[in-house]
Amino acid sequence: MSKQDMSKREQSAEIPYGTLDLLILKTLQSLGPLHGYAIARRIEQVADNTLHLSQGAIYPALIRLQQEGWISTQWGISETNRKVKFYSLTKAGRKQLLVELAKWEKATAFVARFLEESI
Protein backbone atom coordinates (compact mmCIF):
# COMPACT_ATOMS: atom_id res chain seq x y z
CA MET A 1 0.00 0.00 0.00
CA SER A 2 1.50 3.34 -1.02
CA LYS A 3 1.86 6.29 1.27
CA GLN A 4 -0.64 8.28 -0.75
CA ASP A 5 -3.23 5.59 -0.32
CA MET A 6 -2.71 5.61 3.40
CA SER A 7 -3.39 9.31 3.65
CA LYS A 8 -6.51 9.03 1.51
CA ARG A 9 -7.71 6.30 3.79
CA GLU A 10 -7.30 8.46 6.82
CA GLN A 11 -9.36 11.24 5.34
CA SER A 12 -12.20 9.03 4.21
CA ALA A 13 -15.11 8.16 6.53
CA GLU A 14 -17.26 5.04 6.71
CA ILE A 15 -20.64 5.24 5.02
CA PRO A 16 -23.20 6.41 7.59
CA TYR A 17 -25.13 3.47 8.92
CA GLY A 18 -28.28 2.69 6.99
CA THR A 19 -27.59 4.98 4.07
CA LEU A 20 -26.20 2.35 1.73
CA ASP A 21 -29.71 1.26 0.80
CA LEU A 22 -30.61 4.81 -0.05
CA LEU A 23 -27.47 5.30 -2.13
CA ILE A 24 -28.14 2.12 -4.12
CA LEU A 25 -31.77 2.96 -4.76
CA LYS A 26 -30.86 6.50 -5.84
CA THR A 27 -28.10 5.23 -8.13
CA LEU A 28 -30.47 2.83 -9.84
CA GLN A 29 -33.08 5.55 -10.20
CA SER A 30 -30.78 7.95 -11.93
CA LEU A 31 -28.75 5.51 -14.06
CA GLY A 32 -31.21 2.67 -14.76
CA PRO A 33 -30.22 -1.04 -14.65
CA LEU A 34 -26.63 -1.59 -13.52
CA HIS A 35 -24.48 -4.52 -12.44
CA GLY A 36 -22.97 -4.68 -8.97
CA TYR A 37 -19.56 -3.31 -9.90
CA ALA A 38 -21.10 -0.34 -11.69
CA ILE A 39 -23.22 0.47 -8.65
CA ALA A 40 -20.17 0.34 -6.37
CA ARG A 41 -18.14 2.46 -8.78
CA ARG A 42 -20.87 5.03 -9.08
CA ILE A 43 -21.13 5.43 -5.31
CA GLU A 44 -17.34 5.73 -5.07
CA GLN A 45 -17.21 8.33 -7.84
CA VAL A 46 -19.87 10.52 -6.34
CA ALA A 47 -18.22 10.20 -2.93
CA ASP A 48 -14.94 11.15 -4.60
CA ASN A 49 -12.87 9.45 -1.96
CA THR A 50 -14.59 11.23 0.89
CA LEU A 51 -16.19 7.93 1.86
CA HIS A 52 -14.61 4.58 2.36
CA LEU A 53 -16.61 1.77 0.84
CA SER A 54 -15.66 -1.88 0.68
CA GLN A 55 -17.19 -2.62 -2.67
CA GLY A 56 -18.30 -6.05 -1.50
CA ALA A 57 -20.58 -4.46 1.09
CA ILE A 58 -23.17 -3.65 -1.54
CA TYR A 59 -24.00 -7.32 -2.12
CA PRO A 60 -25.65 -8.04 1.24
CA ALA A 61 -27.54 -4.78 0.78
CA LEU A 62 -28.59 -5.81 -2.73
CA ILE A 63 -29.99 -9.16 -1.63
CA ARG A 64 -32.02 -7.47 1.08
CA LEU A 65 -33.44 -4.86 -1.29
CA GLN A 66 -34.24 -7.62 -3.70
CA GLN A 67 -36.05 -9.69 -1.07
CA GLU A 68 -38.05 -6.63 -0.06
CA GLY A 69 -39.13 -6.40 -3.67
CA TRP A 70 -37.62 -2.95 -4.25
CA ILE A 71 -35.17 -4.01 -6.90
CA SER A 72 -35.21 -6.83 -9.43
CA THR A 73 -32.51 -8.62 -11.37
CA GLN A 74 -32.05 -9.56 -14.98
CA TRP A 75 -29.20 -11.39 -16.61
CA GLY A 76 -27.10 -9.30 -18.95
CA ILE A 77 -23.65 -9.15 -20.54
CA SER A 78 -20.92 -7.09 -18.90
CA GLU A 79 -18.25 -5.03 -20.66
CA THR A 80 -15.91 -7.98 -20.21
CA ASN A 81 -18.37 -10.16 -22.06
CA ARG A 82 -19.40 -12.08 -19.01
CA LYS A 83 -22.91 -13.02 -17.94
CA VAL A 84 -23.72 -10.85 -14.92
CA LYS A 85 -26.76 -9.78 -12.97
CA PHE A 86 -28.17 -6.33 -13.69
CA TYR A 87 -30.15 -4.70 -10.92
CA SER A 88 -33.04 -2.31 -11.62
CA LEU A 89 -35.54 -0.42 -9.56
CA THR A 90 -39.07 -1.83 -9.30
CA LYS A 91 -42.23 0.17 -8.92
CA ALA A 92 -42.24 -0.53 -5.19
CA GLY A 93 -38.60 0.49 -5.15
CA ARG A 94 -39.41 3.89 -6.61
CA LYS A 95 -41.96 4.46 -3.86
CA GLN A 96 -39.52 3.26 -1.25
CA LEU A 97 -36.89 5.65 -2.54
CA LEU A 98 -39.27 8.55 -1.88
CA VAL A 99 -39.90 7.24 1.62
CA GLU A 100 -36.19 6.88 2.30
CA LEU A 101 -35.44 10.32 0.89
CA ALA A 102 -38.10 11.89 3.09
CA LYS A 103 -36.67 10.08 6.10
CA TRP A 104 -33.19 11.18 5.25
CA GLU A 105 -34.19 14.80 4.80
CA LYS A 106 -36.06 14.77 8.06
CA ALA A 107 -33.08 13.27 9.86
CA THR A 108 -30.51 15.64 8.39
CA ALA A 109 -32.77 18.62 8.96
CA PHE A 110 -33.09 17.62 12.57
CA VAL A 111 -29.36 17.10 13.03
CA ALA A 112 -28.63 20.39 11.32
CA ARG A 113 -31.10 22.29 13.49
CA PHE A 114 -29.79 20.55 16.57
CA LEU A 115 -26.21 21.50 15.78
CA GLU A 116 -27.11 25.12 15.01
CA GLU A 117 -29.03 25.56 18.21
CA SER A 118 -26.41 23.88 20.33
CA ILE A 119 -23.60 26.15 19.22
Burial 55-87 (b: 16+ CB within 10 A, else e): eeebeebbeebbeeebbbbeeeeeeeeeeeebb
Local structure of residue 17 (DSSP, 8 states)? T
The binder of other proteins chosen from 21, 26, 34, 35 (CB under 8 A)? 35
Tell which positions 92-111 bind other proteins, by CB under 8 A: none
Q: Does 11 help bind other proteins (rule: CB under 8 A)?
A: no
- Applying CB under 8 A, which residues contact other proteins? 1, 35-38, 40-41, 54-57, 59-60, 63-64, 67-69, 78-80, 82-85
